[in-house]
Amino acid sequence: MAQNQCRMRYIVVGDIHGCFDEFQALLERIGPGRNDEIVAVGDIIDRGPKNREVLHFFARHQEARTIMGNHERKHVRSFFGEVTPSRSQVLAREELGAEYSSWIRWMEQLPLWERLPQALIVHGFFEPGVPVEEQRPTVLTGTLSGERYLERHYRQPWYELYDGEVPLIVGHRDYSGAGKPFVYRDRVFAIDTGCVYGRFLTALIVPDFQFVQVPARTAYWPR
């Protein structure tokens, strides 16, 4: 991660889902400088081929961090017997082997949001009129129950109601269905672009709000 730069940037990366090679290709294209920070929107594991490599990257690099997505949350909850793991969690657990319990402890500590000077980052959704500190974890992480809660209480899509002070950056869903970032009125930036399904991995560089993408090498998980 080479280049010297005086101006700090935040490189906000969409759902990686174990696509480590694409993640590295994305960073090579961007060329992070020593003042830059890498922030993932969550769902860094499951479904893709290299979960261990992705986890080790974020655990070992001081300039890189991630928030909790619904997949990390489900790993933690299924490990403690609160829910039944899905196939992607079972496969990731098999891949991680003896390391799995230590990664659960690491995932348990992940924050539900990240506040940058110019933006707020959550994985899934956001309820209007509620401070981020008081948001339901199921809403922030984008679980099915969180989505149903919003549908019961609001007629409009959640992103049309976003009322935060700064732009919101989310992952969780490829709203375009075609591997393109979704932007709503320059207030909500959705950057999950379906890499694990064979589309693209996307980063949003803040404060310029510039998109950078690399194509997936293949479709790793069937839709």
Domain limits, the chain = 10-215
State mean pLDDT over 56-84: 97
CATH assignment of 10-215, given 3.40.50.1110, 3.60.21.10, 3.40.30.10, 1.20.120.1200? 3.60.21.10
Which amino acid is it at 68?
M
Residue 222: per-residue pLDDT: 87
pLDDT tens, residue by residue, 95-137:
999 999 999 999 999 999 999 999 999 999 999 999 999 999 9
Residue 72: closest CA among 121, 24, 116, 106: 106
What pTM does this model have?
0.95
Share of the chain above pLDDT 70, in %: 97
Q: Is residue 170 classed as helix, strand or coil in its secondary structure?
A: strand
Determine the pLDDT at residue 6. 64
Neighbours of 90 (CB within 10 A): 13
Q: Which residues pair with 169 in a beta bridge?
A: 121, 189
The confidence score (pLDDT) of residue 190 equals: 98
Is the alpha carbon torsion for 176, 171, 89, 23 positive or negative? Answer: positive
